[in-house]
Amino acid sequence: MADWLTRTLLSAAGAVINGWSWLSGEASATVVNQIVGSTRNRPHPWSTLSDYTSWDSLTDRTFFARHLPAATAPRMPPVEQVQVMFRRPPGGQRTSSKSTCLFPAFAQYLTDGFIRTNPVDPRRTTTNHEIDLCTLYGRNRTQTLALRLLSQDDGRRGRLKSQMIADEEFPPFLYPNGDRIADPQFDALDPTLFSHAQTTPPQAPYPPATMTPEKLATIFAVGGDRVNSTPFSAMVNTLLMREHNRIARQLEIQNPGWDDERLFQTTRNIMIPIFIKIVVEDYINHITPMPFSLHADPAVAWTANWNRPNWIAAEFSLLYRWHSLMPDTIIWTDAQIALADFTTDNRPLLRTGLDAAFSAAARQPAGELGAQNTGDSLLPVEIFAVSQARLNRLDTYNHYRVQFGMPAARSFADITHNPDVANLLESLYETPDNVEFYPGLFAEDRVQDSPLPGLMMRMVAVDAFSQALTNPLLSEHVFNASTFTTWGLNLIGATHSVADLVARNVPRRGETPIVMTQPTWSYVNTP
Amino acid sequence: MADWLTRTLLSAAGAVINGWSWLSGEASATVVNQIVGSTRNRPHPWSTLSDYTSWDSLTDRTFFARHLPAATAPRMPPVEQVQVMFRRPPGGQRTSSKSTCLFPAFAQYLTDGFIRTNPVDPRRTTTNHEIDLCTLYGRNRTQTLALRLLSQDDGRRGRLKSQMIADEEFPPFLYPNGDRIADPQFDALDPTLFSHAQTTPPQAPYPPATMTPEKLATIFAVGGDRVNSTPFSAMVNTLLMREHNRIARQLEIQNPGWDDERLFQTTRNIMIPIFIKIVVEDYINHITPMPFSLHADPAVAWTANWNRPNWIAAEFSLLYRWHSLMPDTIIWTDAQIALADFTTDNRPLLRTGLDAAFSAAARQPAGELGAQNTGDSLLPVEIFAVSQARLNRLDTYNHYRVQFGMPAARSFADITHNPDVANLLESLYETPDNVEFYPGLFAEDRVQDSPLPGLMMRMVAVDAFSQALTNPLLSEHVFNASTFTTWGLNLIGATHSVADLVARNVPRRGETPIVMTQPTWSYVNTP
HSE, side-chain direction, 13 A CA sphere, residue A211: 24
Q: What is the CA radius of gyration of chain B?
A: 22
Judged by CB atoms closer than 8 Å, whether chains meet at A52 and B262 is answered as yes
Say what the pLDDT of residue B204 is.
47
Could you tell me if A53 lies within 8 Å of chain B, comparing CB atoms?
Answer: yes
Q: Choose among B392, B355, B133: nearest CA to B265.
A: B133
Nearest chain A residue to B262 by CA: give it: A52
Could you tell me if A307 lies within 8 Å of chain B, comparing CB atoms?
Answer: yes
**Distance between CA A514 and CA A354 in Å, rounded?**
12
Judged by CB atoms closer than 8 Å, whether chains meet at B265 and A54 is answered as yes
Say what the pLDDT of residue B210 is.
76
HSE, side-chain direction, 13 A CA sphere, residue A269: 29
Name residues 209-238 of chain A within 8 A of B (Cβ).
Answer: none
* Site from B49, B55, B61, B480 to mutate, A interface, most A CB atoms within 10 angstroms: B55
Judged by CB atoms closer than 8 Å, whether chains meet at A305 and B308 is answered as no
Could you give the ipTM of this predicted complex?
Answer: 0.93
Nearest chain B residue to A299 by CA: give it: B305
Mind telling me how many Å the CA of A523 is from chain B's nearest CA? 38
Distances in Å between the alpha carbon of A39 and those of A402, A407, A464? 9, 13, 13
Could you tell me if B472 lies within 8 Å of chain A, comparing CB atoms?
Answer: yes
Q: Which residues of A touch B305 (CB under 8 A)?
A: 302-303, 307
State which amino acid sits at residue B29. A
Give the pLDDT mean for A260-287.
Answer: 97
Residues A251 and A268: beta-carbon distance below 8 Å: no
DSSP assignment string, B68-113: S-----S----HHHHGGGTBPPSS---EEEEEETHHHHHHHHHHHH
Q: Which residues of B touch A268 (CB under 8 A)?
A: 54-55
**Distance between CA A82 and CA A72 in Å, rounded?**
17
State which amino acid sits at residue A102. L
Q: Choose among A400, A380, A403, A404: nearest CA to A392.
A: A400
Give the pLDDT mean for A420-428.
Answer: 97
Say what the pLDDT of residue A211 is.
84
Say what the pLDDT of residue B527 is.
42
Nearest chain A residue to B272 by CA: give it: A55
Largest distance between two CA atoms of chain A:
70
Q: Which residues of A touch B41 (CB under 8 A)?
A: 476-477
Q: What is the pLDDT of residues B437-486, one digit of tens each?
A: 999 999 999 999 999 999 999 999 998 899 999 999 999 999 999 999 99
Judged by CB atoms closer than 8 Å, whether chains meet at B58 and A266 is answered as no
B322 pLDDT exceeds 70? Answer: yes
Across the A:B interface, residue pairs with CB atoms under 8 Å apart total 104
DSSP classification of residue B283: I
Q: Which residues of A touch B476 (CB under 8 A)?
A: 41
> How many C-beta neighbours within 10 Å does residue B304 have?
21
Judged by CB atoms closer than 8 Å, whether chains meet at B40 and A477 is answered as yes
DSSP assignment string, B233-253: HHHHHHHHHHHHHHHHHHHHH
DSSP assignment string, B366-395: EEPPSTT-B-GGGHHHHHHHHHHHHHTT--
Q: Which residues of A touch B53 (CB under 8 A)?
A: 269, 478, 482-483
Q: What is the pLDDT of residues A369-378, one digit of tens each?
A: 999 999 888 8
Say what the pLDDT of residue A377 is.
82
Mind telling me how many Å the CA of B451 is from chain A's nearest CA? 33
Residues A131 and A114: beta-carbon distance below 8 Å: yes
Q: What is the pLDDT of residues B161-212, one digit of tens each?
A: 999 999 999 999 999 987 888 999 999 999 988 754 444 444 445 677 778 8
Nearest chain A residue to B268 by CA: give it: A55
Could you tell me if A154 lies within 8 Å of chain B, comparing CB atoms?
Answer: no
pTM above 0.80, yes or no: yes
Q: Choose among A349, A297, A317, A292: nearest CA to A463.
A: A317
| Burial category of B381 from C-beta neighbours within 10 Å (exposed 0-12, middle 13-18, buried 19 and up) | middle
Q: What is the pLDDT of residues B73-97, one digit of tens each?
A: 899 999 989 999 999 988 789 999 9
Set out the domains of chain A in order of their start, with CATH numbers.
3-505 (1.10.640.10)
Q: What percent of chain B has pLDDT over 70?
A: 93
Give the pLDDT mean for B27-47.
Answer: 93
Could you tell me if A72 lies within 8 Å of chain B, comparing CB atoms?
Answer: no
Q: Comparing A15-29, A397-411, B49-63, which segment has the lowest mean pLDDT?
A: A15-29
Q: Choose among A398, A424, A419, A399: nearest CA to A409.
A: A398
B19 pLDDT exceeds 60? Answer: no
A113 pLDDT exceeds 70? Answer: yes
Say what the pLDDT of residue B524 is.
73
Could you tell me if A62 lies within 8 Å of chain B, comparing CB atoms?
Answer: no
Name residues 270-289 of chain B within 8 A of A (Cβ).
Answer: 272
Could you tell me if A478 lies within 8 Å of chain B, comparing CB atoms?
Answer: yes
Q: What is the pLDDT of residues B111-127, one digit of tens each?
A: 999 999 998 888 999 99
Q: Which residues of B touch A53 (CB under 8 A)?
A: 269, 478, 482-483
DSSP assignment string, A314-370: HHHHHHT--GGGS-SEEE-SS-EEEGGGSSS--HHHHHH-HHHHHHHHHHSEEEPPS
Closest partner residue to B58 among A261, A308, A472, by Cβ?
A472
Say what the pLDDT of residue A204 is.
47
Closest partner residue to A55 among B58, B132, B308, by Cβ?
B132
